[in-house]
Structure 1
Amino acid sequence: MSLPVHLVPDLGGSAVGSVVTITGDEAHHAVAVRRLRVGEQLMVVDGRGTVVTGTISETGKRELSVVVDDLSLHQEPTPSVTVVQAIPKGDRGELAVEVLTEIGVATIVPWAAARSVAVWKGERAEKSHARWAATAREAAKQARRAWFPTVAPMATTGQVKTIIAGSDLAVVLHEAATTTFETLPTPTGRVVLIVGPEGGLTEDEVAAFEAAGARTVRMGTEVLRTSTAGVAAASALLSRTPRWF
């Protein structure tokens, strides 16, 4: 049986035999929901590459002490994949974030595409971003990731162009493209994948992204929903890298 995973802000300075303290909602979930008790083991991660396996030494309502039995440091996976995800309606955004996190995407960028039905503004933007971030955090724990993904602030098309310009390989999914994945170079460094909205990309968006250096490609003859296109494309790219060998 896999050990439960809990997140703390920082594991710097931890060593075998030292004590890690989990507080707040994470501790409450461990004690009140999972009903973990003194003497049981669990994993503690900081989401930045440090993973601890430890034994619970003390519990409280919103605090949990863990003695470190083992500590490991993990290098950040490479290539690093950033997915620019057009904001979909309803809960399909959280679905996209969940599956992208599970396969190891490093950064997820909500994008206000021209044809996005959902609009993030004001208080709604804050709440929607918080839901995406919480979904990524919980999915990363479930996937037992050493490095947790970042959910960036919502981006405009102009900001996406800047993201593309800083990448080693940028790919735009488009059902009308004539280029396929097999023509792409082996992904290395920083890879950016742009997923359009349910209504599709506009000609101006495609032209802007191509001018910034992105390659427009299609995946077979099927047209996927925006919430699943990203995970399919990212998986296709990662399968050509040492990360999935």
Structure 2
Amino acid sequence: MFQFFVAPEQIGEKEAFVTGSDVNHIRNVLRMKPGEQMRISDQQGRDVLCEISQADGEKITLKILKSCEGTEPPVKITLFQALPKGDKMELVIQKAVELGVSEIIPVAMRNCVVKLDKKRAENKCIRWQAIAESAAKQSKRSIIPRVGPVHTFEEAAEYVRTMNVRLLPYEQERGMAHTRKVLGNLEKGASIGIFIGPEGGFASGEIEMVKDDMEIISLGNRILRTETAGMAVLAMLVYEMED
């Protein structure tokens, strides 16, 4: 079943409607007809199952059949992802959205191979946000996770301090006992920040800067790629937190 996002005012008591670019996608790409069903969300906690009643003009008119249970995890997760090489960021965003992240902050760290000027960073973020929206539709999210602008390490370190729990997987940390303890003590409703380093690893100065503010954890005895590490932490959080 297809999922779409609308503004809160587009969902009434008995009817809802879809406008904008999704109209063309529904009508001409998916070729959906009256009588077919879809799920829509207002991103503010209301998810409904609908049936198309009219699909012409500049909007799709829907009959609301019933409310749906939300799909959001009981914690708000922000992934601070070091800029990876190539198109790996696209994969990271797609999979992180599927696993329940609420926000993704790209971070330019000292050992990042990729260097983006302001214009390229802005264009990348536009594309990354579109990927997040597509992944949110595919995975039936109740929100579209936000992809923030590219942060410096210092900016990201300041932002993560606003969160209840701050996790930093580090390849030089060994032993899963501490990781299990930290994850086992998480409470529903918490805000969680996850710092993931680049291909070259965190610089020693970066670790020094945040070591007193972060829970430095291990992800096991093997060295994970930057695009794997965040997914590993997110999967652990899904296991620990979701009913």
Fold similarity call, TM over 0.5 = yes
**1:209-237 per-position Cα deviation (integer Å, ceiling 9, x unaligned):** 113x1021221111111112101112113
Displacement of 1:206 after TM fit? 0.8
Correspondence for 1:127: 123
- Out of 109, 134, 138, the position equivalent to 1:142 is 138
Displacement of 1:141 after TM fit? 0.8
**1:162-191 per-position Cα deviation (integer Å, ceiling 9, x unaligned):** 223212211111111135312425223111
- Distance change (3 Å), C-alpha of 1:52 and 1:94: same
Correspondence for 1:197: 198
- Out of 149, 161, 171, the position equivalent to 2:157 is 161
Correspondence for 2:226: 226
- Please provide the CA RMSD for this pair: 2.0
Counting only pairs closer than 5 Å after superposition, residues 31-42 of structure 1 correspond to structure 2 as 31-42=27-38
Displacement of 1:57 after TM fit? 1.9
Report the identity percentage: 27
> Matched residue of 2:51: which SS?
strand
- Out of 15, 31, 34, the position equivalent to 2:12 is 15
Correspondence for 1:207: 208
Paired with 2:207 and 2:169, the residues of 1 have a C-alpha distance of 10
Assess if the C-alpha contact under 8 Å between 1:16 and 1:69 holds in 2: no
- Out of 26, 37, 40, the position equivalent to 1:30 is 26
Paired with 1:116 and 1:167, the residues of 2 have a C-alpha distance of 24
Paired with 1:230 and 1:92, the residues of 2 have a C-alpha distance of 12
- Distance change (3 Å), C-alpha of 1:53 and 1:75: closer
Counting only pairs closer than 5 Å after superposition, residues 69-88 of structure 1 correspond to structure 2 as 69-72=65-68, 74=70, 77-88=73-84
**1:100-136 per-position Cα deviation (integer Å, ceiling 9, x unaligned):** 1101111111111111112222321111101211111
Q: Give aligned pairs, total.
A: 238
Correspondence for 2:240: 240
* TM-score normalised per structure 1: 0.89
Paired with 1:75 and 1:7, the residues of 2 have a C-alpha distance of 14
Gaps of at least 5 residues in structure 1 are none
Paired with 1:11 and 1:70, the residues of 2 have a C-alpha distance of 16
Displacement of 1:24 after TM fit? 2.1
Assess if the C-alpha contact under 8 Å between 1:16 and 1:71 holds in 2: no
**1:71-101 per-position Cα deviation (integer Å, ceiling 9, x unaligned):** 3474963221111001112110010011111
Paired with 2:83 and 2:57, the residues of 1 have a C-alpha distance of 38
> Matched residue of 2:240: which SS?
coil
Displacement of 1:238 after TM fit? 3.2
Correspondence for 1:49: 45
Paired with 2:147 and 2:18, the residues of 1 have a C-alpha distance of 23
Residue identity matched to 2:11:
S
Residue identity matched to 2:144:
F
Paired with 1:145 and 1:48, the residues of 2 have a C-alpha distance of 12
Moved over 6 A (4+): none
- Distance change (3 Å), C-alpha of 1:95 and 1:61: farther
- Distance change (3 Å), C-alpha of 1:87 and 1:154: same
* TM-score normalised per structure 2: 0.90
Assess if the C-alpha contact under 8 Å between 2:50 and 2:64 holds in 1: yes
Displacement of 1:23 after TM fit? 1.8
Residue identity matched to 1:11:
P
